[in-house]
Amino acid sequence: MAEAELMKEIERRRTFAIISHPDAGKTTLTEKLLLYGGAIHMAGSVKARKAARHAVSDWMEIEKQRGISVTSSVMQFQYQGYCINILDTPGHQDFSEDTYRTLVAADSAVMLLDGAKGVEAQTIKLFHVCRMRQIPIFTFINKMDRASKDPFSLMQELEDVLGIRSYPINWPIGTDGDFKGVYNRQLRQIELFYGDQSHGQAIVSSTRGTVDDPVFKELLGEPYYSRLVEEIELLDMAGDEFDLGKVLKGELTPVFFGSAMTNFGVGPFLEDFLKMAPPPGPRAFGEQIISPEDPNFTGFVFKIQANMNPNHRDRIAFMRICSGVFRRGMQVHHSGSEKPVRLAQPQQLMAQERESIEVAYPGDIIGLFDPGIFRISDTLSTTPGLTFTGIPSFPAEHFARVSAKDTMKRKQFLKGITQLAQEGAIQVYKQPDIGVEEFVVGAVGVLQFEVLEYRLKNEYSVDLKIQRLPHRHARWIVSSPAEPDQLNLTSSTMLVHDGRGNPVLLFENEWSVNWARDKNKGLELSDISP
């Protein structure tokens, strides 16, 4: 492929994740972006009573029941010449691990805040991950159609709590349930939205014009109009200059106001975001920096999802393409097995719906049929010897002993546990000298046990026995003065092995961790797996 053509495809790609605290409206915003992009004709809100449709991105049954997203989904669509890949991430903190992994595959992030609640706990965590990775962050302040905090105090909060400067690209007109439109600061233009009769299922119509136009004074009424003029003056006097270079370094966040539920402000946000957000950039593979325009193909697996189609019991590995051109049926080097692999059944994803693809470019996320060979962070490349090192793993904080209620279902139980561990949904440990009838399962959040129980029952027809354990800390043995089973440990400390056979100690508290270090000179422990 001609270099110029590859460059053109890279330039028009935008791959971003949406991050937020639970209930800030993330799935709703994702839906609305798809609606504006023409990918769906009717948006299904998570909460809308008037519409019995479920959100497109929440495809797992448990997600539909609870109204929360538990796995990250990927959606691709075209809009105004751009090719957009959205990574929707679970907002619930019990699934933060999945979110962290997904952020590795994104080039920028949209941080969604609830206008009434401002910056919340989970948002802070996710923000810091983006900051660490120097990912550009764009802020969308949602639910402006309801009672919300003063926009100036929300800006202040971004600075005080997150330590990032902000620049409002637009400004809300009318708050506290009387949201009328936005003022675009760069174009010095008012956009008023007409009342939404479709309960947010269709694109809203609007009217645009300059602040000086007397029509707007009439449409808004005197109090709203004079307040807007006053606020614009304040912003222009006090505010920072807009600097795209700082945005791309993650030092300044552009702020947009709107309401995903009613679609007010979604269209203007999408248009401005696409102009500002970066296309795919270079990635580090160990010591090597791989640029997207490099003609050699490179990608990495950041997520594995089993049973996306319950009728076929399949597994899909999600791969982010970093360089070169992907072609269906191509042969690549697989870092996990050190063997060549043929990528025969690639799919483009739209939540649950998938279509086969022939070709894909840097920035794209594609689904690969996984016969059970892929692991998270595997590198697939036409250049042997590359290893992607950017995916963090987090220690579990909750543990439980699990076994199948019916011993006749041992085979399904094993299969289910193994597959969910490969997905990264749980961490699985084995106690030495205990058969394969039971495992110790680690999770970052308690809700993961419920999802494990639900999925084993519904996808593998296995009822679980779950016995919660008091342990809170997993530590891998890096070096030891004696065999692991010969160490001097507290009576409650448990020795287990992880999926790769590495010895791991499970402790109830920090005190017993320190005891182990004190009583065994030369014992080196790590909270991250080797």
Would 3 be classed as within a structural domain? no
Write the CA distances from 529 to 316, 473, 482, 485, 526, integer angstroms: 24, 13, 20, 19, 7
| 482 pLDDT above the threshold of 50 | yes
Distance CA 322, CA 473 (A): 35
What order do you get walking across the sheet with 438-443 strand by strand?
427-429, 438-443, 398-404, 464-469
For β-strands 464-469 and 252-257, DSSP reports them as: unpaired
Q: Evaluate whether 376 touches 318 at the Cβ level (below 8 Å).
A: no
**CA neighbor of 84 nearest in space, from 173, 14, 142:** 14
Three-point CA angle 129, 135, 141, nearest 5°? 85
| 310 pLDDT above the threshold of 70 | no
- Sign for the pseudo-dihedral over CA of 77, 199, 115, 95: negative
As given in the structure block, the two tokens for residue 529 are 């797996």
Q: What is the DSSP letter of 39?
A: S
Distance CA 92, CA 21 (A): 7
As given in the structure block, the two tokens for residue 84 are 């957009």
Residue 172 sits in which domain range?
13-276
Per-residue pLDDT averaged across 485-510, rounded? 89
Distance CA 407, CA 398 (A): 25
β partners of residue 77: 84
Contacts of 318 (CB under 8 A, 6+ apart): 74, 105, 301, 302, 303, 304, 305, 349, 365, 366, 367, 368
Q: Please indicate if the annotation marks 123 as binding a ligand.
A: no
Model pLDDT, residue 471: 93
Residues in the chain: 530
Would 391 be classed as within a structural domain? no
pLDDT digits (tens, 9 = 90+) for 117-166: 888 877 887 888 788 778 999 999 888 777 777 888 888 898 899 989 88
Q: Please indicate if the annotation marks 245 as binding a ligand.
A: no
CATH number for 293: 2.40.30.10
| 340 pLDDT above the threshold of 70 | yes
3-state SS class at 353: strand
Do 371 and 412 fall within a single domain? no
Q: Please indicate if the annotation marks 527 as binding a ligand.
A: no
Do 140 and 256 fall within a single domain? yes
- Rounded to the nearest 10°, the torsion over CA 519, 501, 507, 523 is 20
pLDDT digits (tens, 9 = 90+) for 290-306: 999 999 999 998 887 76
Q: What percent of the chain has pLDDT over 70?
A: 77
Distance CA 389, CA 377 (A): 7
Q: Which of 319, 354, 381 is the last residue of a domain?
A: 381
Do 49 and 188 fall within a single domain? yes
Q: Please indicate if the annotation marks 200 as binding a ligand.
A: no
Model pLDDT, residue 377: 83
Which helix (H) or strand (E) segment holds residue 75: the answer is strand 73-79
| 336 vs 365 pLDDT, higher one | 365
Would 2 be classed as within a structural domain? no
Q: Evaluate whether 51 touches 40 at the Cβ level (below 8 Å).
A: no
| 404 vs 310 pLDDT, higher one | 404
Model pLDDT, residue 125: 78
Which residue carries 């100036």 as its tokens? 152
Would 92 be classed as within a structural domain? yes
Q: Please indicate if the annotation marks 280 as binding a ligand.
A: no
Q: Please indicate if the annotation marks 58 as binding a ligand.
A: no
CATH number for 421: 3.30.70.3280
| 344 vs 307 pLDDT, higher one | 344
Q: Please indicate if the annotation marks 314 as binding a ligand.
A: no
How many Å separate Cα 423 from the centre of its chain? 15
pLDDT digits (tens, 9 = 90+) for 56-70: 444 445 444 444 333
Q: Evaluate whether 111 touches 140 at the Cβ level (below 8 Å).
A: yes
Per-residue pLDDT averaged across 342-371, rounded? 72
β partners of residue 349: 354
- What pTM, to 2 d.p., does this model score? 0.73
| 346 vs 428 pLDDT, higher one | 428
Do 179 and 321 fall within a single domain? no
Question: Residue 66 region, left (φ>0) first, then alpha (ψ -120 to 50), else beta?
Answer: alpha
| 97 pLDDT above the threshold of 70 | no
Do 194 and 263 fall within a single domain? yes
Crossing angle of the two packed helices 410-423 and 447-460, in degrees rounded to 10: 130
Would 104 be classed as within a structural domain? yes
Q: Evaluate whether 57 touches 88 at the Cβ level (below 8 Å).
A: yes
| 230 pLDDT above the threshold of 70 | yes
Structural domain tally of the chain?
3
Q: Please indicate if the annotation marks 144 as binding a ligand.
A: yes
| 54 vs 416 pLDDT, higher one | 416
Model pLDDT, residue 225: 72
Do 493 and 510 fall within a single domain? yes
Q: Which of 248, 276, 304 is the last residue of a domain?
A: 276
Model pLDDT, residue 108: 94
Q: Please indicate if the annotation marks 25 as binding a ligand.
A: yes
Q: Please indicate if the annotation marks 125 as binding a ligand.
A: no
Q: What is the DSSP letter of 162?
A: I
User: In the chain, what is the straight-line distance between the N-terminal and C-terminal CA atoms, in Å?
Assistant: 40
Q: Please indicate if the annotation marks 91 as binding a ligand.
A: yes
Distance CA 225, CA 211 (A): 9
Q: Please indicate if the annotation marks 210 as binding a ligand.
A: no
Concatenate the DSSP letters of all residues of 291-334 into one string: PTT-SS-EEEEEEEEE-SSTTTT-EEEEEEEEES-EETT-EEEE
Name the least confident of 133-147, 331-345, 347-361, 493-507: 347-361
Per-residue pLDDT averaged across 14-27, rounded? 80
Residue 463: how many other CB atoms lie within 10 Å:
12
3-state SS class at 13: strand
Would 387 be classed as within a structural domain? no
Amino acid identity of residue 160, one-letter, is: D
Q: Please indicate if the annotation marks 484 as binding a ligand.
A: no
pLDDT digits (tens, 9 = 90+) for 173-209: 776 656 677 777 777 777 776 655 545 555 555 666 6
Question: Residue 413 region, left (φ>0) first, then alpha (ψ -120 to 50), else beta?
Answer: alpha
Do 345 and 376 fall within a single domain? yes
As given in the structure block, the two tokens for residue 292 are 């997207």
Name the least confident of 118-127, 227-236, 272-281, 308-317: 308-317
Model pLDDT, residue 275: 92
Do 89 and 203 fall within a single domain? yes
| 5 pLDDT above the threshold of 90 | no
Would 390 be classed as within a structural domain? no
Per-residue pLDDT averaged across 220-238, rounded? 73
Do 249 and 335 fall within a single domain? no
Which residue carries 């209930």 as its tokens? 23
| 509 pLDDT above the threshold of 70 | yes
Q: Please indicate if the annotation marks 22 as binding a ligand.
A: yes
* Diameter of the chain measured on Cα atoms: 84
Do 83 and 221 fall within a single domain? yes
Q: Which of 276, 310, 331 is the last residue of a domain?
A: 276
Three-point CA angle 293, 294, 296, nearest 5°? 130
Do 332 and 422 fall within a single domain? no
Do 150 and 38 fall within a single domain? yes
For β-strands 165-168 and 252-257, DSSP reports them as: parallel
pLDDT digits (tens, 9 = 90+) for 441-471: 988 777 778 878 888 888 888 998 989 999 9
Q: Please indicate if the annotation marks 21 as binding a ligand.
A: yes
Model pLDDT, residue 202: 53
CATH number for 200: 3.40.50.300
Mean pLDDT, rounded, of the chain: 78
Would 125 be classed as within a structural domain? yes
Kindly indicate the confidence band of residue 369, based on its pLDDT and cuts at 50, 70 and 90. Answer: confident
